[in-house]
Amino acid sequence: MDGFERDLVCALKEVVNDSNWQYVGVKEMFNSPCTKLYSEDGEHVVLVHTEDGRFLAMDSACPHEGGPLELGDIEDVGNGKLALICPWHHFDFCLDTGSSSTGLQNQVYEVREFNGKIYIQTQSRLSLSPKTETAAVPFDSLTPRLPVPVCSEDTLCFWAAKILCTPEPKEKVALTHQVQERWNSGQISEIGHAEAPEQPSREESLTVREPGRIKRGKGGTLASRIALLHSLANIEQWAIDLSWDIIVRFATVRLQNGEQLPQEFFNDFVKVAGDEAKHYQLLEKRITELGSFFGSLPVHNGLWQSATDTSHDLMARLAIVHMVHEARGLDVHPQTLARFAAQSDESSVKILEVIYRDEITHVAAGLRWFTYICAKEERDHLSTFHDLVKQHFKGYLKPPFNSEGRKTAGMNEEWYLPLVRPS
């Protein structure tokens, strides 16, 4: 009989293990509305405890650009449904289905409460604390140390560092266009080298908050359109800085064969910087036309985290910033455009169309130089890309994908589908 009971217990343990139910703690541990649970595979989970006592769970990283959903607001979207709102770009995700009005889809998990204990059905082990803590960029450290040029002042890198340390966005835009014109005309001919700041400067009057502290407007209103345009303008300001940072930070990089980066590399990213400056200008003008101004709403600097994480590796920077995040911008464009079109905001729609066309060329630039370096260093470009994304990007890439936009940029499905969570 004892042997029979032992066999039964072992069989029951096998059933439990095979069902992928993970015990995460007792109910009393999760009184907060949102609790982040860390997964061993990097696909972390947010456990939501609703006011009516229910528990629900979904991936904690927004499928748009990885925004921290555990810092978002919970909103009632009607019919008894609740949505978790991404604090970065205000995308909503239904807690029951993971669907979003933007067309994106997030992964949800079944949650059960039994005898006061909480279980989540997932293949990965979950924990209340990460295995290794990484130092975050302080949100109040907005004034970087000044660059220390070590060559002639009239070089591309000197001006790139100067623009990074320029806090006023209109001045940043004007300088970007001036340097672009002088570089293209040959008035600036040397690439040079200078010290890149740890983080770009921002105006002291700008209210910078942690991502979870930024509130969104309700959908379908003028205020919500202004909030979204303001958020996009903030992204474009960071995009200007990312373009100059890749120039100044990696100007002296040598490939494994000893070669330096060719001038065409710098030509491409000067153009990207000019495009991003144009985008900011268009968005800032539109915000003003709608009766507001850039800086009227809080912003976050969470988008710089990817730059910090890849500051040591040009290939990682190209892969994450220019081939993951910028490609994700192509994915969400149709839904963002539809939101403005639904409110008959044709002026904003035209601006978004300009930005979309340019962003395709930016993804193409990242892909072009990634494959160039791989060829020079005799690396397989696909496996190198996949390895770098797994190392530096949190979690899996998530559909929907704008396959047409990505293909136009030269990124076929073989680049990104292997990085989607297996069924």
Condensed to tens digits (0 to 9), the pLDDT of residues 140-163 reads 333 333 344 444 578 999 999 999
- Inside any domain, residue 144: no
- Inside any domain, residue 377: yes
**How far apart are the C-alpha atoms of 413 and 411, rounded to whole Å?**
7
Smallest Cα–Cα separation from 249: which of 266, 263, 236? 266
- Inside any domain, residue 19: yes
**Range with top average pLDDT, 82-96, 212-226, 298-312, 357-371:** 357-371
Task: Mark whether 379 and 272 lie in a shared domain.
Answer: yes
pLDDT at 88: 74
- Inside any domain, residue 283: yes
Q: How buried is residue 8: exposed, middle or buried, by Cβ count under 10 Å (0-12/13-18/19+)?
A: exposed
- Alpha carbons within 13 angstroms on the beta-carbon side of residue 163 total 32
**pLDDT tens figures, 77-114:** 777 788 988 877 678 899 988 888 877 888 899 999 88
On average, the pLDDT of the chain sits at: 86
Listed residues 110, 127, 144: the one ending a domain:
127
Task: Mark whether 123 and 177 lie in a shared domain.
Answer: no
pLDDT at 151: 47
- Per DSSP, what are the bridge partners of residue 56? 48
With a pLDDT cut of 90, the percent of the chain lying above it is: 54
Task: Mark whether 119 and 194 lie in a shared domain.
Answer: no
pLDDT at 359: 97
pLDDT at 100: 86
Task: Mark whether 18 and 120 lie in a shared domain.
Answer: yes
- Alpha carbons within 13 angstroms on the beta-carbon side of residue 198 total 9
With a pLDDT cut of 70, the percent of the chain lying above it is: 87
Task: Mark whether 97 and 13 lie in a shared domain.
Answer: yes
Q: Where does 192-294 have alpha helices with state H?
A: 222-249, 263-289
Task: Mark whether 363 and 219 lie in a shared domain.
Answer: yes
Angle 353-410-100 from CA coordinates, rounded to 5°: 50
Smallest Cα–Cα separation from 43: which of 406, 397, 414, 408? 397
Q: Which residues make Cβ contacts (< 8 Å) with residue 312, sequence separation at least 6?
A: none
Listed residues 84, 109, 127: the one ending a domain:
127
Asked whether the predicted pLDDT for residue 416 surpasses 80, the reply is yes
> Which domain does 312 fall in, by range?
156-419
pLDDT at 146: 39
Read off the pLDDT band of 2 (50, 70, 90). Answer: low
How many domains would you assign to the chain? 2
Asked whether the predicted pLDDT for residue 8 surpasses 70, the reply is no
- Inside any domain, residue 143: no
Q: Which residues make Cβ contacts (< 8 Å) with residue 255, sequence separation at least 6?
A: 261, 373, 376, 377
Task: Mark whether 89 and 230 lie in a shared domain.
Answer: no
Output 380 or 117, whichever has higher pLDDT.
380
Q: How buried is residue 393: exposed, middle or buried, by Cβ count under 10 Å (0-12/13-18/19+)?
A: buried
Asked whether the predicted pLDDT for residue 18 surpasses 60, the reply is no
pLDDT at 293: 96
pLDDT at 67: 78
Output 88 or 359, whichever has higher pLDDT.
359
- Inside any domain, residue 147: no
Listed residues 127, 144, 175: the one ending a domain:
127
